[in-house]
Amino acid sequence: MRGIEEGSTLSKSLLNAVISVVIAISAVILLILLSFTLFLLVDSSVFTNLPVRPYSFYLVTAISASVVLLFVSLIFLFRNIRTISILSRAESSVKDLNAERRDIPIDENVIKYLDEGEREIYSILVDAGGTLLQRDITSVKGYSKATITRILTRLEAKGLVERIRHGTTNQIVLKRVSKQVSQK
């Protein structure tokens, strides 16, 4: 679920970055067109019958507004790029952690030393690839939050899992199983 939460933040940041790019490109195009129009108005004989001053004032004001719009959109673009960079680094580190955890050999003899609830939670974690959010375990088995917490505390005391704080919940990660635990 962490990937979904980060993914939604990442997709929002990507969408904001795309919108910022579109606005920046529009501002540049508007800036070019307005500058060209101002140049034609001032230095051309095409507009000989028009009073130059009022129109040049409006064009300069519009050019100034498009420059401000360009700078604001660039600021938002760079902020979104920084957010995307941070989120993608965090996501890759989580993927590295998950890849490292999935390669952990799990001793099958451990299950016979666990009670029924511990065995179910342990099996859920194995099926999930070694990591899962605590709230997802609650929704899978239908146990209460308190029961899941007690079971995870026992599993953690036995050295089988590790709880890592993740927002309002915990990420539960299977740990390496030592021969001492499986011999108990």
In the listed set 51, 70, 102, which residue is the last one of a domain according to the structure?
102
Contact 148, 134 (CB under 8 A): yes
- Give this prediction's pTM: 0.45
Domain with 156 in it: what CATH number?
1.10.10.10
Who contacts 122 (Cβ-Cβ below 8 Å, separation ≥6)? 110, 111, 114, 155, 160, 161, 174
Output the CA torsion 91→96→99→100 (10° steps): -140
Band (72; pLDDT cuts 50, 70, 90): very high
71: its two tokens: 């700078």
The domain of 115 spans 108-183
User: Mind listing the pLDDT tens digit for each residue in 38-64?
Assistant: 777 777 666 666 666 677 788 888 889
* Structural domain total, the chain: 2
Same domain, 48 and 136: no
Are 97 and 129 in a shared domain?
Answer: no
